[in-house]
Structure 1
Amino acid sequence: MVKFDRVAEQHPFVLSARGDCEELCDTIGRRIEATPLSLLLLFCPDGATVAPLSGALSARCGERCRVLACSSAGGFAFDGYDDESVIAIAFPAASFAAEAVWLANLRQHMALDWMMSLRNLSETFRITPGQNRFGLLLIDGMSRREELVTATVDATIPDLLVLGGSAGDGLRFENTSLAMDGEARDESAIFCMIATDFAIEEVIFDHFNPVGSPMVVTDADPDNRIIREINAEPAAAEYARLIGLTEAELGPRAFAENPLLTRSGGRHFVRAISGVTAEGGLSLMSGIDIGAILTIGRPESLTRGLRQRMEQIGPAELVLGFDCVLRRIAIEQADEMDTLGSLCRDHRVAGFSTYGEQHGGIHVNQTFVGLAFIAPRSSAEQDGAGDVA
């Protein structure tokens, strides 16, 4: 089990545990019972664990604590990536308040229902003066509806900082799982509103620059996020040619090292590839339209810019992170796993490997999206800050 080297009653803390559901409940439950919580996040490598574990721990936490769980493509805590452990992140009631709602039936495009639920939550959620408020999204990573959900949340509560991740299923890309307090729902998302005494800072990092000539999506299936043709050629074959590989060599490593980039608002965003279809198309992890202009992305350092951003923020009690599974593959291939582990230890980074990341009203891929929690200074510290000669 991994945890913070210092845990105070008001500080968020992290646990990492392995075993079957009963063992996990006992290991995590014994630790959290000592501290009243408002929110417990569970990131599980095994989707079958999600609902029963969240239910069992909800019973131990009490009705004032929301227990939100999702399946992952692996987790990470203070020793770096971990494929086999449940990552549990606990938010004490002494310094956090939280409430959550389901955004259900994602494939039925029930945006008006989602907006009503979001407005009700926003209007009834009470915060103490001086607290900071933010939103957390967990979305079915196989729903192909992250763009719609993220845009709906941003339109409904436009001034709220919101971030999150798409639930994963290892590298299988078959089924993902979400649960709240033991209740599981398919094709759904969970939105959680959180207030805290801690200062918060958003951490966003991707590591790709565009290279080569632009390409045009000449045929696509937008509903299923499939590119059929690039430059009027079969998509997989043309993509392979552009990155200097054969179609037979395409796979997770090639996709991680050579993502597709699209430009919007003066910035490039990753449109990650999850696989090749039987018809020779490319399956994406984000939305795509016919006529889209894309370029190939090539990586800079996978971790240096992220560490620089963490150091700019300064010491944090926790950095809650959502990191694309394809970034993890790229880090492995670049032999930077130890570097990533050191970064997680030095800056208290914990979270899970996702099928996509959400921030600022958009859905992206191959990006680290996180939130740093910085302990408020005491009155004595604030007074002392002004006593510089």
Structure 2
Amino acid sequence: MLDARAHPSCISVAVSRAVGEAYAARNAAAQINCSETCFVLAFVPGDLDGRRVAAALEEALEGVPVFGCSSAGQITPHGYETDALLLLAFPKAHFRCSSILFEPLKPLSTTAIATAAQRHEKTFSHTAGWHRLGLIFADGLSKQEDVLISTLETVLDDLPLFGGSAGDALRFEDTYVLHQGRCYGNAATLLLLETDLPFRGFGFDHFLPGGTPIVITGADPDERKVFEINGAPAAQEYARLVGCAVADLSPQIFAENPLLIEYKDRHYVRAISDAGEDDALSFLAAIDDGLIMTLGQGQEIIRTLQSGLDIHDEQGRRPDFILGFDCVLRKLEIEQKQLGRAVSEVLCSAHVVGFNTYGEQHCGVHMNQTLVGVAFFGPDQRTLY
């Protein structure tokens, strides 16, 4: 049985751990009242075929629009999970929705995206007294999220945007987004939402800058690859900085020792995904020659999580639910430290539902190892973002 603390009243949450795409989709859809639902967000685990899930949901949900993506993990009312199909049903009583698909993302045309986004936003009629926000789900292997989110932030400057990059449980093989009952690779889905629910956006990580400046002296920005750091082979220099052998570099090492950049007086994580045989490091966000970075020093992750999710409105009320986009590398570090159960308890108590990402988008920036979210409050509470 789901923990009663994690039951929001303003959306419906459906979870299926059934084996097989059709069975899992029907099982989850059966938990949703289609006639009352405006749209559904679906976060699909890596062991299910996205195309089959999308087709099965299209049938089982009787034409209710379905959006979402593949996920590197799910945040359900039980906290962290890996093999659960998660559906979030947003009711007509509180939400209106319009969507646009950007395909292909690579090669990316900023002009085409800007024009389409502006045109779409203007044709989405405004409901008096309701609030607007945007959700973006992008293929995590497209390597285009940085330009995409900065473009959207520029042309939709009065619309707060939040998002996550589709993942696949660290296989880095098959990521996709869902849009209107179909599955797309090398694409992104932008949802324009209106709601009568006040909301507040946030984003936080658990790293502080430390040590001496690190300079990227050789990189391929298009592929997010770094070949040299401080004039030395990248993997060798990074291993020296974190105090391990090149042979010992692993996702766990990368998760606990990310590099940070400073932008507008804030530090953002640029996570490393892997090290190649050529001593190059592959990153999950934008990287370039001449970039000055610093090694991140991790803080106590439970404490920073509790503090970051301690969200209230002006009347002291907690959110009805939080839609969360949480980097898979955070989850990896948490599991490595055997803190999964404790973190799940915090997420559950805070009413967080969402998925583990390959990157997060907030304030016009694509970042890593961050928890980005939107806290939705009950009706008649003030919106802050």
- TM value normalised by structure 2: 0.93
- Separation (CA, whole Å) in 2 of partners of 1:3 and 1:129: 36
Could you tell me which residue of structure 2 aligns to residue 82 of structure 1? 81
Q: Among the aligned pairs, what percent are the same residue? A: 36
- Separation (CA, whole Å) in 1 of partners of 2:5 and 2:288: 48
Query: Is 1:332 paired with 2:335?
Result: yes
Deviations 1:185-219 (A, max 9, x none): 22110000011111101121111011211111111
- Separation (CA, whole Å) in 2 of partners of 1:59 and 1:2: 26
Report the Cα offset of residue 151 of structure 1: 1.1
RMSD of aligned Cα (Å): 1.9
Deviations 1:320-378 (A, max 9, x none): 00010110111112332122111122111011110000011110000000001100149
- Give secondary structure in 1 for the equivalent of 2:43: strand
Paired AA for residue 219 in structure 2:
A
- Separation (CA, whole Å) in 2 of partners of 1:299 and 1:259: 9
Could you tell me which residue of structure 2 aligns to residue 363 of structure 1? 366
The structure-2 alpha-carbon separation of the partners of 1:78 and 1:89, relative to structure 1 and needing over 3 Å to count, comes to same
Could you tell me which residue of structure 2 aligns to residue 341 of structure 1? 344
- Separation (CA, whole Å) in 1 of partners of 2:202 and 2:377: 13
Deviations 1:141-192 (A, max 9, x none): 0001001110111111111110010000111112212221222222110000
- Separation (CA, whole Å) in 2 of partners of 1:135 and 1:117: 14
Gaps of 5+ in 2: none
The structure-2 alpha-carbon separation of the partners of 1:82 and 1:124, relative to structure 1 and needing over 3 Å to count, comes to same
- Give secondary structure in 2 for the equivalent of 1:194: strand
- Separation (CA, whole Å) in 2 of partners of 1:112 and 1:213: 39
Gaps of 5+ in 1: 383-389
Deviations 1:93-150 (A, max 9, x none): 1111111110111112222222222122211112321111100000000001001110
- Separation (CA, whole Å) in 2 of partners of 1:368 and 1:50: 24
Report the Cα offset of residue 288 of structure 1: 0.6
Could you tell me which residue of structure 1 aligns to residue 109 of structure 2? 110
Report the Cα offset of residue 3 of structure 1: 7.7
Give the count of matched residue pairs. 377
The structure-2 alpha-carbon separation of the partners of 1:349 and 1:35, relative to structure 1 and needing over 3 Å to count, comes to farther
> Is the 8 Å Cα contact of residues 3 and 13 (structure 1) preserved in structure 2?
no
- Give secondary structure in 2 for the equivalent of 1:122: helix
Could you tell me which residue of structure 2 aligns to residue 43 of structure 1? 43
Pairs within 5 Å for 1:1-389: 2=2, 11-19=10-18, 20-33=20-33, 35-46=35-46, 48-63=48-63, 65-313=64-312, 314-377=317-380
- Give secondary structure in 1 for the equivalent of 2:287: coil
> Is the 8 Å Cα contact of residues 13 and 88 (structure 2) preserved in structure 1?
yes
- TM value normalised by structure 1: 0.92
> Is the 8 Å Cα contact of residues 44 and 71 (structure 1) preserved in structure 2?
yes
> Is the 8 Å Cα contact of residues 51 and 69 (structure 1) preserved in structure 2?
no
- Separation (CA, whole Å) in 2 of partners of 1:225 and 1:4: 43
Greater Cα offset, 49-58 or 263-272: 49-58
> Is the 8 Å Cα contact of residues 26 and 60 (structure 2) preserved in structure 1?
no
Deviations 1:238-278 (A, max 9, x none): 00001100001100110010000111111111000000012
Report the Cα offset of residue 35 of structure 1: 4.8
- Give secondary structure in 1 for the equivalent of 2:189: strand
- Separation (CA, whole Å) in 2 of partners of 1:226 and 1:182: 34
Report the Cα offset of residue 50 of structure 1: 2.2
Report the Cα offset of residue 52 of structure 1: 2.6
- Separation (CA, whole Å) in 1 of partners of 2:171 and 2:6: 37
Report the Cα offset of residue 57 of structure 1: 2.2
Paired AA for residue 38 in structure 1:
C
> Is the 8 Å Cα contact of residues 138 and 176 (structure 2) preserved in structure 1?
no
- Separation (CA, whole Å) in 2 of partners of 1:38 and 1:111: 30
Deviations 1:277-327 (A, max 9, x none): 121010000011100111110111213233223323242221000010110
